[in-house]
Amino acid sequence: MPSSVYEVIAEMPRRGSFATEEDIVRGVVRGFNRVIILWLLESRSLCGYEILKETRKLTGQHFHSGVVYPQLYELEKAGLVRSKWRSKGRRRINYYSLTGKGKKFIKHMRRTLAKPMREALRRLLGEAKARANVR
């Protein structure tokens, strides 16, 4: 598993000598996938299928269960997420929620990323807007 954005980009498939825009977007989203999962669980408990659906709505990217469930298990092992089985009719469904440690972690991530990310996005979007006005 890549540990940095640079490793994610380095592992992306290439078309010619450059990664495609879609490959770059997918890599960035995957790099933030664990944080996205924690953010989704901040507001309510969700089962894995709901996490898959919400992640797709939020990012526009399709994540397979083979990607999300191992990440949920990692987050649970790290003590950031807890799971609880619930019966729904004849089925048993595992619901995930944040632990106290998970809530502290997401607050810390929010503080850590807020200013640098906001500034980077402002610059990126400002440059894109300026380029569009030139054309």
Residue 66 lies in a domain: yes
Domain coverage including residue 77: 32-99
The end-to-end CA distance of the chain, in Å, is: 41
Residue 86 lies in a domain: yes
What tens digit of pLDDT does each residue of 110-132 get?
887 777 777 877 777 776 555 55
pTM above 0.75, yes or no: no
What tens digit of pLDDT does each residue of 49-74 get?
999 999 889 888 788 888 899 999 99
Number of domains in the chain: 1
What tens digit of pLDDT does each residue of 70-111 get?
999 999 999 999 999 999 899 999 999 999 999 999 998 888
Residue 80 lies in a domain: yes
CATH number at residue 77: 1.10.10.10
Residue 89 lies in a domain: yes
Residue 81: which of 121, 129, 48, 123 has the closest Cα? 48
Residue 11 lies in a domain: no
C-alpha to C-alpha distance for 121 and 4, rounded to whole angstroms: 19
